Amino acid sequence: AAMAYQESKWDPEARSHMGAYGIMQITAPTAQDIGLIDPANPVKNIMAAAKYLDQLRALIPDNAKEPDRTYLAMAAYNVGIGHLTDAIKLTKIQGGDPNRWRDIRERLALLSNPKYYRKLRNGYARGEETIQYVENIRALHDLMIWVETQHNLMNQSLEAMLARISLTTSDGLGARVIGRPTTSEVAPAKMASDGVMTRD
């Protein structure tokens, strides 16, 4: 869900200047590769994107573990597996960890610098945009998890409160109306000398 929002703000008719289409912004060549015939269909678009993301995840080096593996697959979804491979290669050259997103992220930023991209196989890329892309998805995902957790906690608190109310308002024979005394609680009335009804 977070990735779909980053791609299109959940708009199934979104279209980019690069020709990407649909809720997951799939380009025509990618759609053809993964067999997506109707990119305007949001369900098919999402399913195709999930399939493509799995394919990219399989291309990430085996030593990359989760969650880094998913972060790298998302980066490849945005910038292309070729440019991500260049960033991984550059990470190795500079002594970073080629299996960690935090290290590869630093090298993605260098793909727009001619000092580096001219020596790499796939050339120039807007690596800074890819970094922001992945970090936005991570932040939104964390926010969604937090909101869901708070929602569940509120539901649990409400259920507990209702359970306590049910227990405290039961007289053993069934529920009673809060604030209204039962018959046994009403003190016997007597007539005062002035004719006014009073209670002991």
Instruction: Just list the catalytic residues.
Output: 7
Task: State the virtual CA torsion across 9, 77, 58, 61 in degrees, nearest 10.
Answer: -130
Q: Cα dist. 35→1, 20, 26, 56, 129 in Å?
A: 22, 15, 11, 16, 27
Rounded distance, CA 168 to CA 177, Å? 11
Rounded distance, CA 28 to CA 18, Å? 10
3-state secondary structure of 80: coil
Rounded distance, CA 172 to CA 192, Å? 35
